[in-house]
Structure 1
Amino acid sequence: MFKRSIIGPALMLIGVFLYFNQGQSFGAGAIFANFWASMFVIPLGLLFHWLYFGVTGGKGVGLLIPGGILFTAGLVCQLATLFSAWHILWPGFILAVAVGLFEFYWFGNRNKWLLIPINILAVLSLLFFGVFSLSAFSGQLATMQPLFAIALIIVGAFAMLSRKKEQ
């Protein structure tokens, strides 16, 4: 059990780190700099979940709010650190609050009024993800503009030249 739950993911993270940092130094400082979220923030979020599901027997539903926030924020921080994508992944912090509140809603008494802030935060986060992802990839799309233009011309020509189906 211990090998699968702790050693397996740890070896995978070290493998990802070695793959992305080929030719760079590999020391304790580099490990802490790249995996601080996996070492501190994500386990703290999992601790809150364990306290709710394991220790309190489902009675301390309020533990899921910080648990969901910390776990999601830890994932966002880890991905942003590994891929240097803070400029794209920052809306994940807004989504983290929505995840924590949704866990509270799902495992709690299902107060329907809690869905209002959950939906507002989730939609806002997804909107920011979309906008900042498109702006980050707009430079790459500019190089593909001739191909996109040709594709539009071909699709338009097929649309004009295709015969209408008889009804």
Structure 2
Amino acid sequence: MTKRTILAPLLILLGAYLLLNQGGSVGAGSIFATFWPTMFVIPLGLFFHWMYFSLVGRQGIGLLIPGGILLTAGIVSQIASLFDSWQTMWPGFILAVAAGLFEFYWFGSRNKWLLIPINILTVLSLLFFVVFSIGPILNYLSFVQPVIAVLLVLGGTWLILGRKRHG
């Protein structure tokens, strides 16, 4: 592994943080508070994957469960930390368990019974993502509500008047 493969993502993340920071203070504490998933959780998940794919192979299939969970949870945490969106990103932790189990299924013996909890957790996570994202999206689009209301009233009026003409 070269210095470039380590330095490049760090520079990209630091640049993204400085762009998103919008003139706030930049210090070791704020960088640590923002990028703790990238510094600790994601590398640990990658370490478990590296151990499976490079060192132990098929004997260590169980390494993929914590590897998938930590990698997915680290990505979810990093996104939530960068955009301060913990209230909408928390279902990603349910998805993290599904990702770890799916890796175990995919690279393991493909036991079909593993698909039951994988599908339940995935659907539950996606359902929670949708439910908890609708409110912020509607709040963001609140200026469109009067336009939609006027269109609905006009559409209903058109349906009523249209029937009287044909009837």
Q: How far does the alpha carbon of each residue in 1:23-82 deviate from its partner, in whole angstroms, 9 at most, with x for none?
A: 111111111000000000000000000000001123211000000000000001000000
- Is the deviation greater in 126-135 or in 49-58? 49-58
Deviations for 1:129-154, whole angstroms, at most 9, x for unmatched residues?
00000022221233211233456678
Give the match for residue 74 of structure 2. Answer: 74
Normalising by structure 1, we get a TM-score of 0.87
33-42 or 16-25: bigger deviation:
16-25
Q: 2:83, 2:137 → 1: CA distance?
A: 15
**Distance in 2 separating the partners of 1:45 and 1:132:** 27
- TM-score, normalised via structure 2 length: 0.87
Cα distance 1:153–1:70, how it changes in 2: closer, same or farther (>3 A)?
Answer: same
Q: What secondary structure is seen at the aligned counterpart in 2 of 1:25?
A: coil
In 2, Cα distance between the equivalents of 1:39 and 1:113? 35
Match in the other structure for 1:38: 38
**Partner Cα distance (2:98, 2:9) in 1:** 26
The aligned residue for residue 24 of structure 2 is: 24
Residue segments in structure 1 that go unaligned for 5+ positions in a row = 162-167
Q: Secondary structure at the match of 1:24?
A: coil
Q: Helix, strand or coil for the counterpart of 2:57?
A: coil
Q: Distance between the aligned counterparts of 1:8 and 1:154, measured in 2?
A: 55
User: Which has the larger share of helix?
Assistant: 2
Q: Which runs of 5+ in 2 are unaligned?
A: 163-167
| Aligned-partner Cα distance in 2 for 1:75–1:40 | 11
Deviation at 1:22, TM superposition (A): 2.3
1: CA distance, partners of 2:5 / 2:154: 52
In the TM superposition, what are the counterparts of 1:25-104 in structure 2 within 5 Å? 25-104=25-104
Aligned residues: 160
Residue 137 of structure 1 corresponds to which residue in structure 2?
Answer: 137
Going from structure 1 to structure 2, the CA distance change for 1:103 and 1:151 (only over 3 Å counts) comes to farther
SS in 1 for 2:58: coil
Aligned AA (1:142): S
Q: CA 1:148 to 1:103, structure 2 compared with 1: closer, same or farther past 3 Å?
A: same
Q: Which amino acid aligns with 2:142?
A: A
Code of the residue aligned with 1:68 in structure 2: it is G
**C-alpha distance in 2, partners of 1:64/1:93?**
16
* Matched-pair identity in %: 63
